[in-house]
Structure 1
Amino acid sequence: MYPDHTPRPPTERAVEVHQPTPLPPAVAAPAPVVAVQPGSVPAVASIVLPDGRVVTGYAINPAQPEPVTAKPPVSRAAVNVALGGVGFLAVCGGLILLTSFIAALTAFITQLITLAAVVFGGWIAVQVFSANRHQGGTTVNIRKAVIKRNHFHG
């Protein structure tokens, strides 16, 4: 039925209208008062918007990033490489000294062998040449020799 109490056609449905019910305002509890140090009260800032309105509020300090831990001026890997290089140089220095020592020892042994050969060879030569003089052998002086048919006539 319509508001004037006339019957409705069978294809239409009734429309119901609901009016919102206003809620009573809530009583807000007072905000707790926080004691603020006198030096930490932020300054109030006002901004004029392009349409002429003024917005006033506290300035918010930007968030400070956490301090980055100080890195050493030289990385640990570089220190390890440098120490390895120093150790390698120390080993190479020792190897050079060892090589020099071995070369000097080899030269010394070679000189000893050469000296022994000269002295021993000289001793043998003295023995050989002095052996003919000390043995009482016959000395033959050939001044004029005639060889006839493989016979020696002296």
Structure 2
Amino acid sequence: MAYLSGEYECKMDAKGRMVLPARIKSTLPDADVTKVFVKRGFEACLVLYPELEWKKVYSKVAGLSEFNEEQRNFQRNFFSGSAELELDSAGRFLIPKLMLKYADIDKDAIVVGVGNRVEIWNPDKYNQYLIKDQNEFSKQAEKFLSGQ
């Protein structure tokens, strides 16, 4: 399992490529250093998965029933909004234009390590989702982590 964390300011080049931050790249297992998988996130961001983590998520979604309308629609939305990305020798990857449009990413982006995955955000949207009140963050920590 990858242990991805941290927050990084990144820039897109003129061709729509981004460099995966060195700290993130160095955390990936050797097998995952040449490719990653991206999908549209639930909060108008992009979610990047190392290959080993992607296989786990992929299996869960692929295991849903094509004969159930709700599950079929979920599969359609999930898989149509995902892609395999190759990393070049400089650690750059090209994000499809439709995905950049979905996440409203132009030149600047915030890359965030979130445990087993990486999120790529428009900086303004990212700031809207951050918990600004530390008391609220403390309450969530108690709710989600106490008793474990």
Same fold (TM over 0.5): no
TM-score, scaled to structure 2? 0.15
Say which structure, 1 or 2, has more relative contact order (CA 8 Å, 6+ apart): 2
TM-score, scaled to structure 1? 0.15
Structure of larger gyration radius: 1
Give the structure with the larger strand fraction.
2
